[in-house]
């Protein structure tokens, strides 16, 4: 049997070609020690609502960043913080309950997840500000 006809080889080729198994976990934007999916991991396409109408996460990601949170106050506050730094952010309510907010990148990877909106602001400030050595060189 030729090597290319083996299921394992075909699956590995499919995974590499589709890029659905790519992760940015361990990169500079992905904090460590967080449950699955972790920042940097691809988020599964979820059923959710936007402004009361049913939609899917990936249908909204085509427009930019998305903030996913079940609690309306948390969703609004976190989306406002993210929008102040990133531009327009879709405010999505997951159909399956989640007790924390998730900021999803336009490419479908989890950027940040947490319960405190202040933590989102801190994370965005840290990620979007230039490193200290670049600030010192600019003076």
CB-based contact 67:77 (threshold 8 Å): no
For residue 27, what pLDDT band results from cuts at 50, 70 and 90? Answer: low
Alpha helices, DSSP H, located in 50-107:
57-61, 72-86
Give the tens place of pLDDT for each residue, 8-26.
877 777 777 766 666 666 6
CA 46, 98, 101, 112 torsion-angle sign: negative
Q: Please, which residues have CB within 8 angstroms of residue 55's CB and are 6 or more apart in sequence?
A: 47, 48, 49, 92
Percent of the chain at pLDDT > 70 equals 78
Does the pLDDT value for residue 62 go beyond 50? yes
Question: Which candidate, 51, 47, 33, places its Cα nearest to that of 91?
Answer: 51
Please state the pTM of the whole predicted model: 0.69
């Amino acid at each position: 049997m030729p090597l290319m006809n083996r299921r394992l080889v075909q699956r590995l080729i499919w995974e590499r070609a589709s890029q659905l198994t790519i992760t940015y976990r361990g990169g500079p934007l992905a904090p460590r020690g967080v449950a699955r999916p972790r920042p940097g991991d691809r988020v599964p396409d979820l059923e959710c609502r936007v402004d009361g109408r049913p939609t899917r996460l990936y249908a909204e990601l085509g427009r930019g960043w998305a903030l996913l949170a079940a609690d309306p106050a948390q969703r609004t506050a976190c989306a406002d913080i993210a929008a102040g730094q990133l531009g327009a952010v879709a405010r999505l309510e997951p159909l399956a309950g989640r007790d924390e907010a998730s900021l999803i990148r336009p490419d479908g990877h989890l950027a940040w997840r947490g319960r405190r909106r202040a933590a989102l602001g801190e994370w965005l400030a840290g990620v979007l500000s230039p490193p200290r050595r670049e600030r010192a060189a600019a003076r």
